[in-house]
Structure 1
Amino acid sequence: MELFTITIQNPSDPHLTSLITLLEQELGDLHKHPCGVTLETFEASSVSGVTCVGHLPGFQLQLHGQEVWNRASRALAEYILAAKEEPLIRSLLDKERHLDLEERGKIETYCMQLLNGYEELNHADSRQRRKTKLSRILVKYLEEYTSLNLEGFIRFRLDNYLSELREVVDYAVDEYVLERQYQEFIGLLKYFVFIQDTKIPLAHLVHKGGHEFVLLNERWDPLEPSHVVEGMVVEMIDCDMEMEDMIVSTLINVSPGHIVIHTREKDSQVIKTIQQIFDTRVQVCDYCKDCEAHLSPGWKPQEQVIDVQH
C-alpha cells in the first residue's frame, strides 16, 4: 500500500541519501517492523525519489497512517532546512544585481547566521520554529495527497516560508550596504587624519560612562573652544551621522598627535570607531593614577561635558 512518494527533480541529487536517512530515523520502529513500512528508492530519466509503502495486513491506515505522516513531515522539514534553505537564499541573492559574487557570498553567510540564530542566546529556537511551521504544512499535505514533488511544493505551497527568507535577505543586504558605506566613510576620515597637520601633541578623552565624554589637553585642562571648528560638526550632522560622531569630529578638528582614551567601557562602539580612525595614535587606558580621580563617581569637571545622549 503506497502511503506517499516524494520526487526530486534532479535525479543525481546528492542530498537524496540524506533525505532517506532522515526518513528512516523518524520512522524508526515503523520502518523496521515486518508489518510496518518500507522505503523504496527509484530513479528515472528526469527525477529520483523515495516511496513509503505500508505492509498489509499488519499496517492499518486508520491506526498507523497519522503517525507515519507526522514523522515523515518532520523528516521532510529537516531536509528542507538542511539541504534546500541555503540554495534558496543563494537564488534570492542572485537577483541582487548590484552586488558582485564576493559580496553575495558574504551576505549569504550572514543570512544563514541570522536564520540559525547565531546572534541570539536561544539560537536553537529560530530554526526549530521554522521546522515546526514546515512540519505542520507538510503533514496536512500528506494527509490529503500521496505524491509530493519537493521543488514544486517549496515553490507553490510555502509562500510564508519563502517570504520569511526574502525578509532575511532584504535585511542582510541593507545591513551589508550600510556597513560598506560606514567603512567607506571611516576610510575617508582616516585619510583626512593622515593628511592633516597635528595641532596639539596629546589629548585625553575621558569617558565618564554611557554617553558622557570630556576632552582635555596634555595638562588635563579643558580644551579651549577655539580648537573646535564648527564646520565639520555641522557637515557630519547634515550627513545624518549619529550624535556620538560629534566626538569624532571634535577629535579630528583638534588633530592631536596622540590620544589617550580613559574608559571603563573599552568595547563601546564610539571607542572602537575612534581606534579605527586614529589607528596607532590611540591608546586605551582602563586604569591609571591620573584617570582614577577623573573616572570616580564624585568627580565633576569645570568644563562642559560632551553629552551625546540621543
Structure 2
Amino acid sequence: MAEIIFRSKMDAKRFYDHLLKCFRGNPSNQDILLLEDRYIVKVLDRKVNLEKVKLAFYEFIVKIKRDDWFRAILQDQYFFEDSEEQQHIMEIIYSVLEGQREDLSVLIKENGEEPNIREAVEEIFQDNVSFSFDSFLKFRLRPYLKVLESYVEISIDEYKMEQEYQMFIQTLRDFLTGREPKMDTLHLLFDEEITFFDEKFEEIKRGELMRMIDRKLLFNHPVYVDSASIAPLLSIAPKSILLYTKNPEEPLVRTIRNIFEERVLVKSFKGLRPTKEWIQQENNANENGA
C-alpha cells in the first residue's frame, strides 16, 4: 500500500484524478482512494501496479505541479500578477523546455544540471510507504525548484527584451508613418556588408547614404538605430524594398521586415555575391511573375 498525504485539498484531488486517468478505470475506485477530509490519496497494493503509481506521481510533479510552481515564482518573487504577462513568459519557458531556444537552454545548463526527479520518486516509494507530498517537496525537490527559478529568471529577461524590441519597432513604424518616400524601389543586398542600389540598379555609395539620413532620427534614437542600414532606410522611406540575402532569418533582416512590413520582399541567394546584373534579372523576373 502507498499513502500520499497532501497539505492542499486541490492537490490531493488533482493527483487522485490524474492517477485514475493513468490507470484508465482499471483498477477500480475501490483500489485507489481519496480521503477528502484528510487530503490523502491511498493506493491499495493488492491489484495496483506500483510502477504505474510512481510514473503517475512523476508526471504529477513535472506536468501538473510544475506549472503551479512556475506561476508562483512569477507572482511571488517577480510580482508578475497580470495573467496575460504570465502567459507570455510561460510560453518562453516552455519553448526553452521543449528545446526550441538553444541559446537560452545553454544558460540553464550553466547554472547546473537538472536534478533527477525519477530517482527521487523511486527512493520515496517503498512497500507500504506513507509520506507527505509537501515534505517530499521541501527535502527532495528543493534543487529542482531552484532550477525552475532559473528558467523563470532567464525567461523574464527574454520577455523584457522582446517587449523593448516591440516598442523599438513600433517607434520606428511611427516615424515612418506619413513620411514622404524619396524613392519608389530600393534594392538592398546583404552579404559581407550591406549594399544599397537605387531604382536603376546603381550602387548608392556610403557618403551619399549618410547625406540622406534624417538627423532627427539619430538624435532621437541614438542607441537603437543602425546608421549603416536602418537609418538610411527610414530616411529614404522607399515604397518597396527588394532585399537579397543568404539568410532570411538573420536578425537585421527580420527587423527590417518588421518595420517595413508589406513593403519588403525578401529574395534569397546562395553561393557567390550577386552582381548588379543578377539583381536586375531577379527584379525583372519578379515583375513578370506579378
Equivalents in 2 of 1:178, 1:272: separation in Å? Answer: 15
How far the C-alpha of 1:77 sits from its partner, in A, is 1.3
Q: Which residue of 2 aligns with 1:304?
A: none
Q: Does 1:86 align with 2:78?
A: no
Choose from 241, 244, 247 the match for 1:259. Answer: 241
How far the C-alpha of 1:230 sits from its partner, in A, is 8.6
Equivalents in 1 of 2:64, 2:255: separation in Å? Answer: 39
How far the C-alpha of 1:272 sits from its partner, in A, is 2.1
User: Structure 1 residues 250, 83: CA separation in 2 closer, same or farther (over 3 Å shift)?
Assistant: same
Q: Does 1:227 align with 2:194?
A: no
User: Structure 1 residues 118, 292: CA separation in 2 closer, same or farther (over 3 Å shift)?
Assistant: closer
* 8 Å contact from structure 1 (residues 202, 257) kept in 2: yes
Alignment of 1:1-310 (within 5 A): 2=1, 4-11=2-9, 13-22=13-22, 39-53=31-45, 72-95=53-76, 96-98=78-80, 100-119=82-101, 133-143=116-126, 146-208=129-191, 211-224=192-205, 225-228=207-210, 229=213, 239=223, 241=224, 246-286=228-268, 293-294=275-276
SS of residue in 1 equivalent to 2:184: strand
Unaligned runs of 5+ in 1: 33-37, 56-66, 121-125, 297-310
* 8 Å contact from structure 2 (residues 19, 53) kept in 1: no
* 8 Å contact from structure 1 (residues 206, 294) kept in 2: no
* 8 Å contact from structure 1 (residues 20, 50) kept in 2: no
**Residues 269-290 of structure 1 deviation map (CA, whole Å, 9 limit, x = unaligned):** 3222112212233233347xxx
SS of residue in 2 equivalent to 1:196: coil
How far the C-alpha of 1:52 sits from its partner, in A, is 4.1
* 8 Å contact from structure 1 (residues 227, 253) kept in 2: no
How far the C-alpha of 1:295 sits from its partner, in A, is 8.5
User: Structure 1 residues 223, 236: CA separation in 2 closer, same or farther (over 3 Å shift)?
Assistant: farther
User: Structure 1 residues 103, 42: CA separation in 2 closer, same or farther (over 3 Å shift)?
Assistant: closer
Q: Which residue of 1 aligns with 2:105?
A: none
User: Structure 1 residues 253, 136: CA separation in 2 closer, same or farther (over 3 Å shift)?
Assistant: same
Equivalents in 1 of 2:152, 2:35: separation in Å? Answer: 34
Given residue 92 of structure 1, which amino acid in structure 2 is its aligned partner? I
How far the C-alpha of 1:188 sits from its partner, in A, is 0.5
How far the C-alpha of 1:39 sits from its partner, in A, is 4.3
Larger radius of gyration: 1
User: Structure 1 residues 281, 232: CA separation in 2 closer, same or farther (over 3 Å shift)?
Assistant: same
**Residues 210-232 of structure 1 deviation map (CA, whole Å, 9 limit, x = unaligned):** x4321111122221413323957
**Residues 182-241 of structure 1 deviation map (CA, whole Å, 9 limit, x = unaligned):** 010011011111243323333210123xx43211111222214133239579669952x5
User: Structure 1 residues 149, 242: CA separation in 2 closer, same or farther (over 3 Å shift)?
Assistant: farther
Equivalents in 2 of 1:119, 1:90: separation in Å? Answer: 20
Bigger shift: residues 42-51 or 213-222? 42-51
How far the C-alpha of 1:161 sits from its partner, in A, is 0.8
Bigger shift: residues 156-165 or 265-274? 265-274
* 8 Å contact from structure 2 (residues 244, 267) kept in 1: yes
SS of residue in 1 equivalent to 2:37: coil
CA RMSD of aligned residues (A): 3.8
Q: Which residue of 2 aligns with 1:303?
A: none
Q: Which residue of 2 aligns with 1:59?
A: none
Given residue 276 of structure 1, which amino acid in structure 2 is its aligned partner? N
User: Structure 1 residues 73, 274: CA separation in 2 closer, same or farther (over 3 Å shift)?
Assistant: same
SS of residue in 2 equivalent to 1:110: helix
Deviant stretches of 4+, over 4 Å = 230-238
How many residues are treated as equivalent by the alignment? 258
Equivalents in 1 of 2:116, 2:31: separation in Å? Answer: 25
